[in-house]
Amino acid sequence: MSSTDIFAEMAADAVEAKNIPKDEQLSGIQNIVQKQISLETQVAAQEQVLKELKRELSDIQTHELPQAMDAIGLITVTLNTGEKVDIKPFVSASISKTNKEEAYAWLREHGHGDLIKVITKVDTGRDEEAAAKAQKALVKAGLAPSTEESVHSGTLKVWVREQVEAGEPIPLELFGAYFGQKSTITKG
């Protein structure tokens, strides 16, 4: 039986069920509705708790533990409980929507336009054959491809690190870039 037949059968069953539901039937549905609402609320609350835990973890990894280790002059230590703690530098960079146009212009003007990828997308519906054709064939088939530009965050982070290490001046704030220390713990 195809999915279309199943839906048609379900619709027919619904039409046939013109009987007025009994109070106990509605009560059962009401209980299920309340259970769904309760679970949706619990999931939202747990997602908020998880978000806060991730923020706290990030604060310990990138501020609290690196600062404590730095205060005693260590970048690595193995504790008597077996955990090995390493403090390593990290780079973070992300071009915000607000800075996108200016950041891309800066990259092009300073010879780094090759970091910008041009992404072409086309909505072919379910026509997989048309999706496999080249840009010319897409236009010929009456499809309207769209393009957007993007810089992969990993590529941007590596590039920022390389530029800073080479002593090249770049506008860090334009690229949402910052450097820090991050702790990693290996359990012994």
Q: Which three-class secondary structure state does DSSP give residue 187?
A: coil
The pLDDT value recorded for residue 177 is 94
Annotate 18-37 with DSSP letters as a single string.
Answer: -SPPPHHHHHHHHHHHHHHH
Residue 172 included in any domain: no
- Torsional class of 145: left (φ above 0), alpha (ψ -120 to 50), beta (otherwise): beta
Residue 25 included in any domain: yes
Kind of pairing, strands 84-92 and 146-150? unpaired
Residue 79 included in any domain: no
Model confidence over 94-136: pLDDT tens digits?
999 999 999 999 999 999 999 999 887 766 666 666 556 666 7
Strands, E assignment, 107-177: 117-121, 146-150
Using CA atoms, how far apart are residues 113 and 105, in angstroms rounded to an integer? Answer: 8
Residue 102 identity (one-letter amino acid): E
Residues of the chain with confidence (pLDDT) below 70 = 1-4, 11-19, 122-135, 147
Residue 163 included in any domain: no
What is the span of the domain harbouring residue 4?
A: 1-73
Model confidence over 50-59: pLDDT tens digits?
999 999 999 9
Give how many domains the chain has, as a whole number: 1
Using CA atoms, how far apart are residues 166 and 174, in angstroms rounded to an integer? Answer: 19
Query: What pTM was computed for the model?
Result: 0.62
Residue 88 included in any domain: no
* C-alpha distances out from residue 85 to 41, 89, 102, Å: 38, 13, 40
Residue 45 identity (one-letter amino acid): A
Using CA atoms, how far apart are residues 70 and 17, in angstroms rounded to an integer? Answer: 72
Residue 5 included in any domain: yes
Q: Do 84 and 185 form a contact (C-beta atoms < 8 A)?
A: yes
* C-alpha distances out from residue 136 to 50, 145, 156, 166, Å: 47, 10, 31, 42
The pLDDT value recorded for residue 125 is 64
The pLDDT value recorded for residue 129 is 66
Residue 117 included in any domain: no
Residue 56 identity (one-letter amino acid): E
The pLDDT value recorded for residue 149 is 83
Residue 144 included in any domain: no
**Entry field: residues in the chain:** 188
